[in-house]
Chains A and B, each alone.
Chain A
Amino acid sequence: MTENIAVKADRLYKAFGRRPNEMVKKLAAGAGRSEVASLGTAAVIDASFEVKRGEIFVVMGLSGSGKSTLIRMLNGLLEATSGTVTVAGRPITGIPARQLRDVRRQSISMVFQHFALLPHRTVIDNVAYGLEVQGVAREERLERARTIIRLVGLDGWADSLPSELSGGMQQRVGLGRALAADTDVLLMDEAFSALDPLIRREMQEQLIELQAELGKTIIFITHDLNEAMFLGDRIAVMRDGRIVQIGTPEDILTDPANDYVAQFVQDVDRARVLTASSVMEPVRSVVTITAGPRAALRTMRDLQTSATFVVNRDRTFAGVVRDRDVLRLVKAGETDLRGIIRDTATAVTPDTALVDLVEPSVESDLPIAVIDEKKRLVGVIPRVTLLAAIGNVSTTTGELPVVEPAATISVSLITETLRETALEGAQL
């Protein structure tokens, strides 16, 4: 169990002031940040969390919320006043400086907000810095640094000085330096905050790619909620030194722990965070392919819709049939739906972001089908649902469940047809 935990923080406190221990005692007894303000600053109060191996864990909070202090306790740059930090199973609180340096060399590296490159060294020497500190021989570390430089997209800049690079490129060097050190855990302190928005987006995407490729555990600090939502597998929201909620981006968006978090997330670009699985509705209008056209027609009549989804016997998605086609089939006495199944319906995976559903939703009047990795139909997203989710409006206000598309053939005509054909087939 502990093998899956890369970093663990347990009841961490950090107080700045003359008598930090006294402050921690008061805070632990339930005092607020303002109540101990006369003694000093309580930067971090009772922070506990576990970061899994290979996870991107985002700590989000406004300035002064204690997030920078928190991240600095994770590699011992700041000593915790109380509580423990465990990195890769090794406790790093209260150990001698020499051992702490070993942990930093082997297990945990860091990317800084203002890059913190060594200005008098070339890009390649900066990237190789961690390896140099680890005592790797010059030839080998330059070789490894060259690989990393290629990885972060700085080919051809190896011998430049940091001052010759743009901000985004400088942070690539910073990222490269941390990656080259080849530690499991990467701490990123507001790493993209100093970059302009376009570059920031590009770096975020690149970080996710790199993480998928290298499988690093990343602890990312940011004040930008959209960034947190985009990057984070899980997010810890901090306020006034305390962690107020830990959860997946969707948890935080759909189920905020308190008004503060709710207020915070109201401006988030929901369409980019919410996924198909979190808004999809149960499939009502569906028939199994073997049930035949009469069953399909009946389903459509009952739900007053003009189309229904068709699934195979193992619930895998087959397509969609329209009422007119089915009616014709029934009148002709055919029993096989296969000939009229259309593949016009859009099928998406459950983790598709809502922003990617808008276009298919505009192009077709059919609900979007959500299918899992085994191609089974797990849910549908009608237009109304999509709109409601993006606009953060509840869909349960109506009396009837949303069914799209609306019926185009009158109920009586369908009933009539079914009755007429019933004599030839089995029972109604």
Chain B
Amino acid sequence: MNDFRIPLGTWADGFIDYITDTFGFLFDVIRAVFDGAFEAVDFLLVSPPFWVIIVIAAALAYSTRGWKFAVGSIVGLLLIVGVDQWENAMDTLALVLVASLLAIVISVPLGILAAKSSAASSIIRPVLDFMQTMPAFVYLIPALILFRVGVVPGIVATIIFALAPGVRLTELGIRGVDKEVVEAGQAFGASPWRILRQIQLPLAMPTIMAGINQVIMLSLSMVVIAGMVGAGGLGAQVVASLNRIDVALGFEAGLAVVILAIFLDRLTAALGTGDTPLGRLLGARKRARQQVLAA
């Protein structure tokens, strides 16, 4: 009786072996693409002097939330420069941007699919539950095997980990759109695609943006873990400080992560409401132009 054991782990191992053997070339392609994307974004962030990036970040901050957020961003980012974590922070930011972008590109269409089809929803839902509750470290193992040490397994693990809220909130947002407004679209003979584009997506946008915000936040927390598989950036610093019990380094790297997190969170949250200084300006201009046309 004591000898009885379900060899689930062995099967999983066998499955990964099979995948590696059969689709190896595919993973090489993915690896090359992800690596290229990361290198390109990283180059854009790291090669200019730090103040150029800070000015751009401050401009973004000002256009979305106003001058208070802009000043806060400048102070925060200068602090990162001050503790000499700028390059690591930019590596991490590049990783987050690439992973989040890919996660959004995958999760939003999946969410739309789940909202449109109850069958799809009932398949996607448990898969998401599985992905969300499985300890994040576990993803690193197959990712490591399939993509070898470096940035790519970090990105892949991050995508899988961060996918769920994007899908869930997109589905929630679209299902939450006033049924009568969707009926109005149908009643005037609009095609499903037009209804999605002109009614469901715009009305679900605040919820979808909340999902995207969560995707970015989860990406950021996962990239630190990804530092363990050689993804570099702030994650590597945190892992190094853990190995050396280096409180000083750990605090500085951790603080840099927090600053990045706050910056990205506030930025995307403001985009979600659509009520930004830039948005108001554009809206006012558009209306003024229409009034001129009407007159």
Q: Do residues A122 and B181 form an inter-chain contact, with CB atoms below 8 A?
A: no
Q: Specify which of B183, B189, B287 is in contact with A134 (CB 8 Å cutoff).
A: B189
Tell me the dominant secondary structure on chain A's binding face: mixed
A56 to chain B: which residues have CB within 8 Å? none
For residue A118, CB closer than 8 A to chain B, the reply is: yes
Considering the complex, which residues of chain B in the window 169-189 have a beta carbon less than 8 Å from any beta carbon of chain A? 178, 180-181, 183-189
For residue B202, CB closer than 8 A to chain A, the reply is: yes
CA distance A103 to B203 in the complex (A): 27
Q: Do residues A133 and B294 form an inter-chain contact, with CB atoms below 8 A?
A: no
B contacts with A, residue count (CB < 8 A) = 21
Known: A104-B189, A159-B291, A159-B294. A120 touches B184 (CB 8 A): no
> B186: nearest residue on chain A (CB-CB)?
A77
Q: Specify which of B178, B184, B287 is in contact with A110 (CB 8 Å cutoff).
A: B184
Considering the complex, which residues of chain A in the window 50-77 have a beta carbon less than 8 Å from any beta carbon of chain B? 72, 75, 77
1/0 contact trace for A82-103 toward B, CB 8 Å? 0000000000000000000111
> B283: nearest residue on chain A (CB-CB)?
A161
A129 to chain B: which residues have CB within 8 Å? 188
Considering the complex, which residues of chain B in the window 87-106 have a beta carbon less than 8 Å from any beta carbon of chain A? none
Considering the complex, which residues of chain B in the window 191-234 have a beta carbon less than 8 Å from any beta carbon of chain A? 191, 194, 198-199, 202-203
Q: Do residues A130 and B188 form an inter-chain contact, with CB atoms below 8 A?
A: yes
A124 to chain B: which residues have CB within 8 Å? 290, 294
CA distance A101 to B189 in the complex (A): 4
B290 to chain A: which residues have CB within 8 Å? 122, 124, 159
Known: A116-B181, A120-B202. A133 touches B194 (CB 8 A): yes
Considering the complex, which residues of chain A in the window 137-161 have a beta carbon less than 8 Å from any beta carbon of chain B? 146, 158-159
Known: A113-B180, A133-B194, A158-B294. A105 touches B189 (CB 8 A): yes
> B199: nearest residue on chain A (CB-CB)?
A118
For residue A280, CB closer than 8 A to chain B, the reply is: no
Known: A133-B194, A146-B294, A159-B291. A104 touches B188 (CB 8 A): yes
CA distance A77 to B180 in the complex (A): 11
Tell me the dominant secondary structure on chain B's binding face: helix
> B180: nearest residue on chain A (CB-CB)?
A116
Q: Specify which of A101, A103, A106, A116 is in contact with B183 (CB 8 Å cutoff).
A: A116
B203 to chain A: which residues have CB within 8 Å? 119-120
1/0 contact trace for A113-131 toward B, CB 8 Å? 1101111101010000110
For residue A357, CB closer than 8 A to chain B, the reply is: no
Q: Do residues A116 and B194 form an inter-chain contact, with CB atoms below 8 A?
A: no
Q: Do residues A133 and B184 form an inter-chain contact, with CB atoms below 8 A?
A: no
Q: Do residues B191 and A114 form an inter-chain contact, with CB atoms below 8 A?
A: no
CA distance A105 to B178 in the complex (A): 22
Q: Do residues B189 and A112 form an inter-chain contact, with CB atoms below 8 A?
A: no
1/0 contact trace for A183-194 toward B, CB 8 Å? 000010000000
A133 to chain B: which residues have CB within 8 Å? 185, 188-190, 194
For residue A181, CB closer than 8 A to chain B, the reply is: yes
Most buried by B among A101, A114, A122: A101
For residue A306, CB closer than 8 A to chain B, the reply is: no
Q: Do residues B188 and A181 form an inter-chain contact, with CB atoms below 8 A?
A: yes
Q: Do residues B180 and A114 form an inter-chain contact, with CB atoms below 8 A?
A: yes
6 closest residue pairs by CB, A with B? A105-B189, A104-B189, A116-B184, A110-B187, A116-B180, A101-B189
Residues of A within 8 A of B (CB): 72, 75, 77, 101-106, 108-110, 112-114, 116-120, 122, 124, 129-130, 133-134, 146, 158-159, 177, 181, 187
A-B contact pairs, 10 of them (CB 8 A): A77-B183, A104-B188, A110-B188, A117-B184, A120-B202, A124-B294, A133-B190, A158-B294, A159-B291, A159-B294
**Given A101-B190, A110-B184, A159-B290, 14 new contacts (CB under 8 A):** A102-B189, A104-B188, A104-B189, A105-B189, A106-B189, A112-B180, A113-B180, A117-B181, A118-B198, A119-B181, A124-B290, A130-B189, A133-B189, A177-B184
Residues of B within 8 A of A (CB): 178, 180-181, 183-191, 194, 198-199, 202-203, 287, 290-291, 294
